[in-house]
Every structure is written in C-alpha cells, then in structure tokens.
Amino acid sequence: MTPYALQPGATVVITPTGGEEPMELELLTLLGRGANSQTWLAAADGEVVAVKAPLAAGDDHELTIEERIVQQFHHPSVVALAGAGVGPGGRLVLAYERLFPNPLAVVNRPDVRRHFPDDPGTRFYPLPPPVALNLAADLLAALEHIHRRGFVHHDVKPDNLMVRAPLPPDATHLPDHELLELALRGECQGVLVDLGSSRSNAYLNELNRGGIDADVLVVPPQLTPLNAPPEAVLKNEVPGGGAPRPLLFRSLDVYAAALTIYAMVSGRAPYDHLGLDTASFEALQQVKAAERAGDLVPFSAEAVTGAPGYRRIAPDLLALLLACTHRDPAERPGVAGALQFVEELQRALSPGAHERAAKERRLGALAATEADRADHFFGQTTQARSTARARAWELRRSADPG
C-alpha cells in the first residue's frame, strides 16, 4: 500500500454541502490516523474544520461510501459533514465540523490524570454522573436517529463519541482543563462520529442471508471486536442452511453503546474485571463464546454499584447495562427505550438538570428538521457558517435555563 502523504501547509479544495463556491483550506495539524484514513485540522477564512483523507494513495472507495452515508443524517448529536473536495493528487477528502475528544479520553491523559486525587486505579478515570449520563443520552439520541433512517452505526465506542464545545468558529485549540470545565458545566454536547462504518439494515440483512460474500467485499462492515456482541464475532448457524457466519443486527449498536456507557461510569473496559486475555482475536472469540453460553457478562456489577456518585441510580443503571448486553440480540431493548431509561436516570439523579436536557433535545430535534431542508456549513456570518447541529447548539445556549 502506497501511503498518501500529506503535510502541514498543504491545501485541499472543498465544495460546501450547501452548494456554495469551492474554497481552499490549509492543513494545520494531524489530528489522528485510523485503520484506513487520516484526519487533519484545516482552516480558511476564519473557519476551522476537520479534513478526513485516505491513508493510501488512490484509495478513495471508503470515503466515497462514507460521503453517501453521512448525507442521510441530520441530527445535533451526529457529526456534520461540511463539504467534500479534493486534496493533493486529486484524492477525495471530506470536511467535517470541528469536534473535541470525549472527556473520558482527556481525563486519562497522564498529565491530566495525575492531578486527580483518590485515583481508583481503573483503566480509565471515570466521569462524574451528570457528564456520563449527558453523553449517554446524546449517544442514544444519535443512534435513534440513525436507526430511524434505516442504518446501523456498527462501531460505537468511546473514541467515536466526541463532543462539540461552544467556541468561536475560528478557534483552533481548546486546552484540556477548559474542555473539562465545559463538560462539567454541561456545556459540551456528545456527537457520534465515524459514519463510514455504518451500513443500511437492508445491506446487513442481505449479508446475514448470505447474499453478500463478506470474504470478498471491497469494503466490509467495520466494527471493534471488543465492543461487538457475540453474534457479530462468532459464527452462527443460519436458517436455510449454508456456512455458519457472524450475524450483524441493529441491536449490536445497543450492546456497544452499553459498553461505552460502562466505560464512562466505571472507568473499565469490557472483561477487565475477569482478567481474561482479549489481546488476540482468537482469545477474544473464546471470551465471546463463554458470554454467548451465559457463563459471563462483559462488565462488572460491582464496578457499577461501587462507582463514586452513582449509588442512587446504580441498581437501575446495572439493569440497563444487563438488558442492553443480553446474550440474545432479540432480547435487547431498542435505542429509543434505552434513551428513555437514561433520561429517567437523569431525572432521578437531578430533576432540574433532566428537564433542561429534555428541553435541549426537543430544540435539537427542531434544528434537525430544519437540516432536512437546508444544511450548509461555510458562509459569511456566524449563523450562516453553522451547520444544523451548530444551530441546535445555539438554540440550547439561548434557551431559558429554567
């Protein structure tokens, strides 16, 4: 594979989603690399966005699919596509709104975590209940929207739940402590990213039926095995015969969302409490087989009931996690039911905060409806520059806090 090499100072030309004139963006810094893509911070005319490009020269197929998929969604908790264009060498690139890491990732940076007293010694330093539940509700609201549109996200995990922060459009940097302060004040909104892994229900049904050969797919559905339910990792007997195969149902998003919530609440990754080897795929398959047989669950009940600050809601939170990670995919709740349950937990924890959160989600739904009519990113004014998701955030910020 020949790398697609990009450097700071390189330029990409983006056509905004609203159909405005193409504009040139300068790449500033590399934000990160995934399995098949790289993401850069880029700026032009006071706008800062994240530009996603392929890792391999000449390999645009995955981003082409991602561009088609992400245009199906308009929701405040789903990442906004700012536009698409070309980078050096004519490669396809996508521009997204600028987001920031999940606070769970920020508090676990060594230079941040060492300032926290009474470190529990878990893999992650857990998030305070209001922050974790706000992010959980945003995650489930995003998944509800995606599922209603007939898609499955397929790769829910903490890294793919980022946050939107109330910053000026030209801001290129947000110090860790300021991000955490905003999150603690409830001023960050959870946003689900990496829509390139999403597939339609029809696609997955055909894959499950054997109508698509997963071994020869140019771009197979992607998932993170550790956060995937047993049926998606192990081979299953299928009706009508044929070779046993993994099965991919919509409820895999519910399962993965539960483990993401578990990480934020307890500071633990799946199976950490058992001390089992999950480093290799073969070892993980053995763990998933034991889970499917009912011999274990992927999280620790004690880690949930003992999480600092969660005592009042711990039994109900544990019930939610058990339901969402049920070994039978047909027994898991839908994301709408899980969202209602989390909102009840928010009400039990802090009635006033829950009512504000519910009001914000209603306002966000209005902005999402507006986005179905017109969704653009770049423009001449702050309001015009906003995506539908940013417009939702502006509504939230201006809403009566009572």
Over residues 182-191, the pLDDT tens digits come to 898 888 999 9
Query: How far, in whole angstroms, is CA 356 from its chain's centroid?
Result: 23
Position 214 pLDDT exceeds 90? no
CA–CA separation, 5 and 189 (whole Å): 33
Average of pLDDT values for 215-232?
74
| DSSP letter (8 states) at residue 121 | -
Contact predicate 102/127, CB 8 Å: no
Q: What is the H or E stretch that residue 201 is in?
A: helix 201-209
For position 365, what pLDDT does the model report?
Answer: 52
How, if at all, do strands 81-86 and 11-16 pair? antiparallel
**Which has the higher per-residue pLDDT, 371 or 323?**
323
What predicted TM-score, i.e. pTM, was given to this entire model? 0.85
Beta-carbon neighbour count of residue 176 at 10 Å? 16
pLDDT, tens digit, for every residue of 321-361?
999 999 999 999 999 999 999 999 999 987 665 566 665 65
Helix (H/G/I), strand (E/B), else coil: 395: helix
pLDDT interval class at 158 (50, 70, 90): very high
Quote helix, strand, coil % in the chain, to nearest 5: 45, 15, 40
CA-based Rg of the chain, rounded to a whole angstrom? 21
Q: Where does residue 31 rank: exposed (0-12), middle (13-18), buried (19+ CB within 10 A)?
A: middle
Neighbours of 301 (CB within 10 A): 14
Distance from C-alpha of 192 to C-alpha of 376, rounded to nearest angstrom = 19
Contacts of 105 (CB under 8 A, 6+ apart): 158, 159
At position 357, the amino acid (one-letter code) is: A
| pLDDT for position 377 | 40
Q: What is the mean pLDDT of residues 155-164?
A: 94
Q: Answer whether residue 374 shows pLDDT above 60.
A: no
State the angle between helix axes of 251-266 and 314-324 in degrees (0 to 180), rounded to the nearest 10: 150
Q: Note whether 11-97 and 103-349 share their fold.
A: no
Q: Using the structure block, give the residue that is written with the tokens 């939170």.
A: 317
Does residue 295 carry a pLDDT above 80?
A: yes
Residue 402 is predicted with a pLDDT of 36
Q: Which residues share a beta bridge with 81? A: 96
Retrieve residue 74's tokens. 């308009």
What does the pLDDT read at residue 363? Answer: 54
Stretch 304-318: mean pLDDT: 90
* 3-state secondary structure (DSSP) of residue 53: strand
Count of all residues that appear for the chain in the document: 402
Q: Is 151 a residue whose pLDDT tops 90? A: yes
User: What value does the mean pLDDT take over residues 105-134?
Assistant: 84
What pLDDT sits at residue 167? 82
At residue 23, the 3 state secondary structure works out as strand
Higher pLDDT, 370 or 320: 320
pLDDT band at 247 (very low <50, low <70, confident <90, very high): confident
- Phi, psi for 59 (deg, rounded to 5): -105, 90
Closest listed residue to residue 26, CA positions, set 8, 38, 14: 8
In the chain, domain spans: 11-97, 103-349
Select from 103, 87, 78 the least CA-distant residue to 368: 78
Looking at residue 298, what is its pLDDT? 96
Contact between 363 and 388 under an 8 Å Cβ cutoff? The reply is no
Using alpha carbons, select from 192, 193, 195, 188 the residue that is nearest to residue 360.
188
- Residue 118, pLDDT score: 76
* 256 class by beta-carbon count within 10 Å (0-12 exposed, 13-18 middle, 19+ buried): buried
Dihedral pair phi/psi, residue 37, rounded to 5°: -145, 165
Please give the Cα distance from 81 to 389 (Å, whole number). 10
> What fold, for 103-349?
Transferase(Phosphotransferase); domain 1 (1.10.510)
398, pLDDT greater than 60 = no
Residues 324/325/326/332 CA torsion (nearest 10 deg):
30
Average pLDDT over residues 372-394: 38
Mean pLDDT of all residues in 218-246: 80
Predicted pLDDT at 241: 67
Best CA proximity match to 232, nearest among 255, 198, 259:
255
What pLDDT is recorded for position 401? 38
What letters, b where the CB count within 10 A reaches 16 and e where it falls short, cover 189-215?
bbbbbbbbbbbeeebbeebbeeebeee
Say which DSSP state 195 is in: G
Q: In whole angstroms, what is the distance from residue 318 CA to residue 285 CA?
A: 25
Superfamily of domain 11-97 in the CATH hierarchy? Phosphorylase Kinase; domain 1 (3.30.200.20)
Confidence of residue 216 (pLDDT cuts 50, 70, 90): very low
Side-chain half-sphere CA neighbours of 85 within 13 A: 23
Q: How far apart are CA 12 and CA 15, in angstroms?
A: 10
**Tokens of residue 171, six digits:** 């801001």
